Amino acid sequence: MRPPQWIPAWLLLLHGCATALLPKAADSRTDIRDCSTDPPYLPPTATDTTARVAALRGAMRALGVQAYVVPATDAHMSEYISARDARLGWLTGFTGSAGTGVVTQDKAALWTDSRYWTQAERQLDCNWELQRTTWIESIGMWILEAVPVGGNISLDPFLFSIDTWNSYRQALQGSGRVLLPIDTNLVDQVWGDQRPAAASSEIYSLPEEFTGSSWQEKVARIRQEMEQHMRHPTAVLLSGLEETAWLFNLRGNDIPYNPVFYSYTLLTNTSIRLFVGERRLAPAARSSLRAACPGPLCVELHEYEEAPAHLRQYVQGNVTVWLGTEYTTYGLYSLIPQEKLLEDSYSPVMLAKAVKNTREQDLLRAAHVRDAVAVIQYLLWLEKTVPRGEVDEFSGAQRMDALRQAQEHSCGPSFQSISASGLNAALAHYSPSNRSSRQLSVDEMYLADTGGQYLDGTTDITRTVHWGTPTPFQKEAYTRVLMGNIDLSRLVFPPNTAGRVIESFARRPLWDVGLNYGHGTGHGIGNFLSVHEWPVGFQSNNVPLTAGMFTSIEPGYYQDGEFGIRIEDVALVVEAQTEHQSGEKPFLTFEVVSLVPYDRNLIDISLLSPEQVRYLNTYYESIRARVGQELQRQQLQEEYDWLQRSTEPFPLGSAAAATATSTTGTLALTMLLSALLPGLQA
């Protein structure tokens, strides 16, 4: 099961609930708004939604709908959505990325998680109750109170995942209310011509030098999997935008941060239907797709909107359609008769994409070397400018973006930069704005979680630094986060191991002293695709780790109201060299491809085991070898010198000595000394 749709899955804590998201303060909280006065008090940031809500209610009445549910997602379960899909934002005024709205004839409510409570209070007007929880059960209970028996609860089935649909169905089961899908989206209907236009920018082929294999090879491979499958599916249906982009080596600009485009694909054993709109394709892309027409490697181009109709027609035949339920909406899913359906959590394309071939691995490695250059430039720049009081969170983030942009093959940031100083970093997902931005200071810790899109790869890295004197607790916490990062990075594990069962190694050094963090430990990442690429990672619904997968490793620690630490690297799953071999396949481990040193000012080396120090020194050697060379190539001498300083090997002695403290190792030394000293004194 995916987590509730409006929480980015990788953010969720793996152990029970996400403590960071726990609505523990929900009861005692006072709303910024005061809707009890006349007129109500609303902050100036609130949006007047009276007309919009009234229009929606009109549309609902016309169709006999008592409650209408509006999600924050698009029809492809995308993590980032375009303005045209921001229905919830338009209807409610709330622009957070996660939430659900429900409107009845006399009530309206928005559900969102604790990251967004303050933002919601600032943006909602008094048409909206704010519900400070995220579980569908709670939405269901609210609906049951608001809608009498016999009432219709409606939603657009093309905006809900199968799981979410089933959760609503379950919540309303046996209640006498009807869950009624309506294909016409009622928000779109009342939004009318104010709604942003459909994407029309060009869709282009990724240059061959940046692809792992041709789209024809990818299609052939998927068809082979179809043939070899026990159930002999005749078609694969692709709904995830990354899936189509990857399969055809196409990219676009329809969505922020992710270079994808609105599309569906129906790949059958004899035909290929791409639903995207022919006029959007760059001429070269169009030629590549149409070169083998007619024939089994001819891509038929259809309008984006025609996908459901084609699917409906296709399933009339003696066919079996293979799909991944995690990225397919209930709307499409319900078009396929159950006996013609072959469902897995992830489509074969999603799974193929997750394992990078050696060419793709090399591309991603290369992108990380140039990305490291930009991050190192940024860290050095901060070192020089922060003490002068010249940087705030926002200008820092801008600088980081600009430095990346200057690197070869750059295509902008891969997500909105998290640039957080002091207590702001304790909010795991804080992003600064021009209006509210804290000045960086030598007296505070600073956390930068940033990433870039390059034609050869997507990057994502977090470094936490302190330019002054950290407190002993800050230093301990940072070192323990680092130890966790190291312990997971250097872990050797059997093939077919699920990330979920090894991610605790990243937490153990914190657990040892009663600390923890409230988010996931990592997520997959693409070759110039998504920065959070499923189904790779350490969550319960991730697939087992396989050589060729890339995942982030990102433990952290957050001290409410004080500071936040996260140390994030991207790592490639590789085969391990082990003393023994059991089983048919070699064991696995990680090769870290993010190549930026950690802040020495925050490391208490005495806490590290000799193995951890040895690992760290080896990692630093590889940074020197790979990034040092690139810095020289780019003639960045000052950065080169900084890198040399920052990657000086740590003495093993201090760690070993620390390990021996209060052991008979020390005792033996003391005894030896007392045995020898008399001789000396004699």
Restricted to residues 90-109, the positions that interact with a second copy (CB under 8 A) are none
Pick between residue 170 and residue 214 the one whose CB is nearest to a second copy: 170
Helices (H) and strands (E) in the chain, counts: 21, 25
Q: Which helix (DSSP H) or strand (DSSP E) does residue 186 occupy?
A: helix 186-191
> At 451, which amino acid appears?
G
The answer to whether 663 contacts a second copy (rule: CB under 8 A) is yes
User: Chain-centre distance of CA 198, in angstroms?
Assistant: 25
The two three-digit tokens of residue 66, written as one number = 């008592």
Part in contact with a second copy (CB under 8 A); list of ranges 288-296, 380-388, 464-472, 655-663: 655-663
Pick between residue 224 and residue 581 the one whose CB is nearest to a second copy: 581
The answer to whether 582 contacts a second copy (rule: CB under 8 A) is yes
Q: Which of 1, 198, 292, 667 binds a second copy (CB under 8 A)?
A: 667
The answer to whether 512 contacts a second copy (rule: CB under 8 A) is yes
Restricted to residues 166-185, the positions that interact with a second copy (CB under 8 A) are 173-174
Q: 488 and 506 in contact (C-beta within 8 Å)?
A: yes
Per-residue b/e over 375-396, b at no fewer than 16 CB within 10 Å? bbbbbbbbeeebeeeebbbbbb
Q: How far apart are CA 503 and CA 520, in angstroms?
A: 9
The answer to whether 620 contacts a second copy (rule: CB under 8 A) is no
The answer to whether 293 contacts a second copy (rule: CB under 8 A) is no
Strands of the 129-131 sheet, one edge to the other = 129-131, 108-111, 100-104, 67-71, 152-155, 178-181
Q: Which of 428, 448, 491, 525 binds a second copy (CB under 8 A)?
A: 491
Pick between residue 291 and residue 492 the one whose CB is nearest to a second copy: 492
Q: What is the DSSP letter of 628?
A: I
Rounded to a whole number of angstroms, the minimum distance from the CB of residue 514 to a second copy is 3
The answer to whether 578 contacts a second copy (rule: CB under 8 A) is yes
For 169, list phi and psi in degrees, rounded to 5: -60, -45
Part in contact with a second copy (CB under 8 A); list of ranges 86-94, 142-150, 624-632, 648-656: 648-656
Q: How far apart are CA 443 and CA 439, in angstroms?
A: 11
The answer to whether 19 contacts a second copy (rule: CB under 8 A) is yes
The answer to whether 338 contacts a second copy (rule: CB under 8 A) is yes
Q: Output the CA torsion sign for 206, 357, 238, 225.
A: positive
Q: Which of 253, 516, 546, 634 binds a second copy (CB under 8 A)?
A: 516
Part in contact with a second copy (CB under 8 A); list of ranges 15-23, 83-91, 287-295, 451-459: 15-23
The two three-digit tokens of residue 76, written as one number = 């492809």
The answer to whether 64 contacts a second copy (rule: CB under 8 A) is no
Q: Count Cβ atoms below 10 Å from residue 416 Cβ, excluding itself.
A: 18
Determine the longest span between alpha carbons in the chain, in angstroms. Answer: 106
Part in contact with a second copy (CB under 8 A); list of ranges 30-38, 160-168, 460-468, 485-493: 485-493
Q: Which of 3, 78, 7, 74 is nearest to 530 (CA)?
A: 78
The two three-digit tokens of residue 546, written as one number = 């396989």
- Interaction mask 232-271, a second copy, x per CB under 8 A: ----------------------------------------
Q: What is the 3-state secondary structure (H, E, C) of 55-78?
A: HHHHHHHHHCCCEEEEECCCCCCC
The answer to whether 500 contacts a second copy (rule: CB under 8 A) is yes
The two three-digit tokens of residue 293, written as one number = 């027409």
Pick between residue 48 and residue 512 the one whose CB is nearest to a second copy: 512
Q: Output the CA torsion sign for 303, 309, 312, 313.
A: negative
The two three-digit tokens of residue 508, written as one number = 């153990």
Q: Which of 511, 601, 618, 641 binds a second copy (CB under 8 A)?
A: 511
Rounded to a whole number of angstroms, the minimum distance from the CB of residue 534 to a second copy is 19
- DSSP secondary structure letters along 271-327: -EEEES-GGGB-HHHHHHHHTT-SSTT-EEEE-GGGHHHHHHHHTTSS--EEEEGGG
The answer to whether 505 contacts a second copy (rule: CB under 8 A) is yes
The answer to whether 395 contacts a second copy (rule: CB under 8 A) is no
Pick between residue 439 and residue 540 the one whose CB is nearest to a second copy: 540
Rounded to a whole number of angstroms, the minimum distance from the CB of residue 513 to a second copy is 4
The answer to whether 544 contacts a second copy (rule: CB under 8 A) is yes
The answer to whether 669 contacts a second copy (rule: CB under 8 A) is yes
> At 668, which amino acid appears?
A
The residues binding a second copy (CB under 8 A) are 14-17, 19, 173-174, 338-339, 491-494, 496-498, 500-505, 508, 511-516, 544, 576, 578-583, 586-587, 609-610, 614, 651-653, 655-657, 659-660, 663-669, 672-673, 676-677, 679-680
